[in-house]
């Protein structure tokens, strides 16, 4: 995973200047907050978060549907017990 260094900010800078964090999120839709020189937190724009959560839900439903389709006979047999 590549991380844009322009979207990274230290924990101490985030604590001192949260409006800077918000401005980065407004412009770039996310920011990575570093703690002890390691990526530790991600702050996302709410719309971006909602879209990503929705697409994850769709992927889970697709996988669940595939599992159900592939094993429908076993599920039917189990439901008759």
Structural domain count of the chain: 2
* Same-domain pairing of 13 and 26: yes
User: 2 falls in which pLDDT band (50, 70, 90)?
Assistant: low
Mean pLDDT of 54-68: 74
Q: Give one DSSP letter per residue of 12-76, joined into a string.
A: HHHHH-HHHHHHHHHHHSEEEEEETTEEEEEEE-HHHHHHHHHHHHHHHHHHHHHHHHHTHHHHH
Task: Tell me 7's DSSP state.
Answer: G
Do 76 and 61 belong to one domain? yes
- On average, the pLDDT of the chain sits at 83
Q: Do 50 and 37 fall into the same domain? A: no
pLDDT, residue 47, reads 87
Instruction: Find the distance separating the first CA and the last CA of the chain, reported in whole Å.
Output: 47
Domain shared by 7 and 39, yes or no:
yes
Domain span at 36: 1-44
CATH code of the domain covering residue 7? 3.40.1620
pLDDT digits (tens, 9 = 90+) for 37-60: 999 999 999 888 888 777 776 777
């Amino acid at each position: 995973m590549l991380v844009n260094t322009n979207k990274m900010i230290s924990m101490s800078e985030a604590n001192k200047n949260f409006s800077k964090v918000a401005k980065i999120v407004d412009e770039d839709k996310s920011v990575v907050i570093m703690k002890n020189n390691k990526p530790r937190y991600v702050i996302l724009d709410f719309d971006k978060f909602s879209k990503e959560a929705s697409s994850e839900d769709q992927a889970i439903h697709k996988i669940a549907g595939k599992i159900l389709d592939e094993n429908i006979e076993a599920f039917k047999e189990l439901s008759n017990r």
